A and B are shown apart, each in its own frame.
Chain A
Amino acid sequence: MPVQVTGEVVTVKRIGAYTAMTVTAPGIPELTRPGHFVGVQVGGPESSMLLRRAFALHDVQPRGVYGGTVQFVFAVHGKGTAWLAGRRPQDRLDLVGPLGRPFRLPAHPVNATLVGGGYGSAPLLPLARVLRERGCRVSFVLGAGSVDRLFGHLDAKRIADSIAVTTDDGSLGTRGRVSDVLPSVMARTDCDVVYACGPMAMLQAVAEQAAARGIASQVAVEESMACGIGVCMTCVLPVVGDDGLTRMVRSCVEGPVFPGDRVRWDDVGSVPPDTVGAVSAPGAHR
């Protein structure tokens, strides 16, 4: 069950192209598992921006000097994130979390490959720690447009058994995309499971490459959300259920983590005609 708390900003760090923000959030760290996210109110109580911004949780500390804290990482995309990046220690923030369904963990020690695009690596680092504690072998594949848009590759190096880095411009690691190196990493590490977080196009490529080798994947999707708690029906995408039927499911409460082979990647953004309850008749129902 998520909680709504007023936290206080502890630190705001610029890391390359991103901002990492640590906020006190009593009650949230204890409930958080890797893959959970928080909804953050932006602009203050009288803000003209009504909707929460959703961020995957990176680091959580149930106790410490400041009590329980959560850390999330973001890039400035618009007015809301620009406001957030301008917060300073002791500023107050309204948080709701933990939200969503986290990554499912393997019951036995397995070989796991964790694929992150840009700051999509943020939830993968705590996941890597949990997997290592469970005796899993962890390999990272991290990619970004350029080195300043990579996040957490130094931490990943310390946690993981191996790491491969790609950048579109070749400013660090292999020039290219994560999908250029992922097949060889999966083969070399005798991979059993792939976890991924990043842009939708990357997730599709990763899910398809894993499926082609008969490897299970779990991907944390990025869909635009209004509420983050399951009431607005904004963040839906077509996902195949256990019964084989496609439904428009909410990525905030049924995701953001989905089995990669259940998402109908080519149909994201549309309602496939065979979706349960698909509307063929025209008209502006609202």
Chain B
Amino acid sequence: MTVDLTTRLAGVEFPNPVFTASGCAAAGQELSAFFDVASLGGVVTKSIMMAPRSGRATPRMAETPSGMVNSIGLQGPGIEAFLERDLAWLAASGARAVVSIAGGSVDEYTQLAQKLRGRPGIAMVEVNISCPNVEDRGQVFACDPSAASNVVDAVRRNTSTGVPVFAKLSPDVTDITEIARACVDAGADGLSVINTLLGMVIDTTTMRPVLGGVTGGLSGPAIRPVAVRCVWQVHAALPDVPILGMGGIRSGLDALEFLLAGASAVSVGTSVFGDPSAPVRVLRELEQALADRGIDRLADVVGLAHRPPDTYVPEDPDPVGDELVPASTEETA
């Protein structure tokens, strides 16, 4: 059985729904030793800022159960070197580049969008709004609806028509749908859900924080249920807004879970650190999982977990006795 894996994100068609995740694939070149980056739906680049940036002091990483906490500090070459070297390489490789941008002010985001405008090879722009606003006491844009809205509005205004702008949401908020709505109202064509959760590890021998940056972003399978919940909530609130889902995806079934929650595509992030070929493996496994379920169109499963309890589904690949059981009647409920 062949499965139609194509997916659409705000009018742009991608051959399949598996992308890399920002900060977990650099700009694709290193991973090309392990697979053809053009075979993925898209390559999401590490967030780029206007100026070169050294990042934070080491240690920058601590492994945690089924995850890791990182405090890299957006180390990067700056937009000019990125365009000249990284984006040019991605374009030449035939990859669909999703360029992630990060700024310390609305003005920096504006300038970044202007730099990207009209450049070939950019399929989408992802706005990393989990950055402190230097003009507002370091308040993180993603945690304030009006700050998030200002950034998204500025980027959308300065981005070519036909290039979707996705805002990447932080789960560290009281109501993620409130920020989601603010971003969409400001012109976001879609949402990336979710960024890392703020975490921390203390060394019990030195009795000090492990990370040079003290706190860092928690990622990996440990956060997957949080990410699935966020995708679920955002899709329920804004069913027509496309979602790029991410957070601890390690297998094809993990990816399927995000699609069922409402994502139209997924990013494989932290798993790449342990398994550089994870994105293509996840894609293969996802295709198999859909075929096993008798589903021949990926688009048919997007948001399927939201269907009413008595809705018919094609077939049960692994019958365990009962037909579909509404969640509310499960033993664990």
Contacts and interface: CB of A to CB of B under 8 A. Distances in A.
B33 A229 contact: yes
Interface string B13-47: 00000000001111000110110000000000010
A286 B130 contact: yes
A50 B70 contact: no
Contacts of A247: 54
A281 B130 CA distance: 16
B25 A50 contact: no
A286 B196 contact: yes
B60 A41 contact: no
Contact of B75 (A4, A47, A51, A248): A248
B90 to A, nearest CB: 14
A231 B72 contact: no
Nearest to A273: B54
A105 B231 CA distance: 53
B249 to A, nearest CB: 12
> Top 10 closest A-B pairs, CB basis?
A283-B132, A277-B52, A227-B273, A277-B54, A277-B53, A230-B30, A234-B61, A48-B66, A231-B26, A50-B274
B54 A229 contact: no
B130 A227 contact: no
A276 B54 CA distance: 6
14 contacts: A47-B274, A48-B65, A50-B221, A96-B276, A226-B68, A229-B30, A234-B60, A234-B61, A236-B55, A270-B57, A270-B212, A279-B53, A281-B134, A286-B130
B24 A231 contact: yes
B33 A1 contact: yes
Interface string B116-139: 000000000000001110100010
Nearest to A96: B276
A2 B29 CA distance: 13
A50 B67 contact: yes
A50 B58 contact: no
Interface string A17-28: 000000000000
Contacts of B33: 1-3, 229
Contacts of B270: 50
A226 B73 contact: no
B52 A276 contact: yes
A227 B72 CA distance: 13
Contacts of A226: 61, 63, 68, 70, 273
A281 B56 contact: no
The listed residue with most B CB atoms (<10 A of its CB), out of A230, A233, A268, is A233
B138 A282 contact: yes
Interface residues of A, number: 44
Contacts of A231: 24-26, 30-31, 272-273, 276
B54 A285 contact: no
A232 interface: yes
B102 interface: yes
Contact of A277 (B30, B78, B272): B78
B71 interface: yes
B51 interface: yes
Given A231-B24, A248-B55, A279 B30 contact: no
A84 to B, nearest CB: 14
Nearest to A232: B273
Contacts of B275: 4, 41, 94
A229 B270 CA distance: 13
Interface in B201-255: 212-213, 215-217, 220-221
A39 to B, nearest CB: 9
A49 interface: yes
B309 interface: no
Contacts of B71: 284, 286
